[in-house]
Amino acid sequence: MKNSIKIERAINGLTQEDLANKVSVSRQTINAMEANKYVPSTVLALKIAKVFNKSVEDVFSLDEND
């Protein structure tokens, strides 16, 4: 699964730590998602999309291999 978390964070002026605090996860979790090493739960994906005021589909997309 691909995501635009890093881009959305930059647009919104958030650090990994800021985003992590807003969605109640560790900074390492945000880092792992940005590196495509961790696929978030549906609930976490929804929380992240809500922070950016976007739909889940705007932030996350399926990769060819998914």
For residue 11, how far is the Cα from the chain centroid? 13
- Confidence at 65, pLDDT banded by 50, 70, 90: confident
Look at residue 19 in the predicted model and tell me its pLDDT. Answer: 98
Contacts of 35 (CB under 8 A, 6+ apart): none
Tens-digit pLDDT profile for residues 10-58: 999 999 999 999 999 999 999 999 999 999 999 999 999 999 999 999 9
* Cβ count near 58 (within 10 Å): 12
Query: Which homologous superfamily is 2-53 in?
Result: lambda repressor-like DNA-binding domains (1.10.260.40)
User: Domain-by-domain residue ranges, the chain?
Assistant: 2-53
> What is the per-residue DSSP string for 8-46?
HHHHHT--HHHHHHHHTS-HHHHHHHHTTS-PPPHHHHH
pLDDT at 66 over 80: no
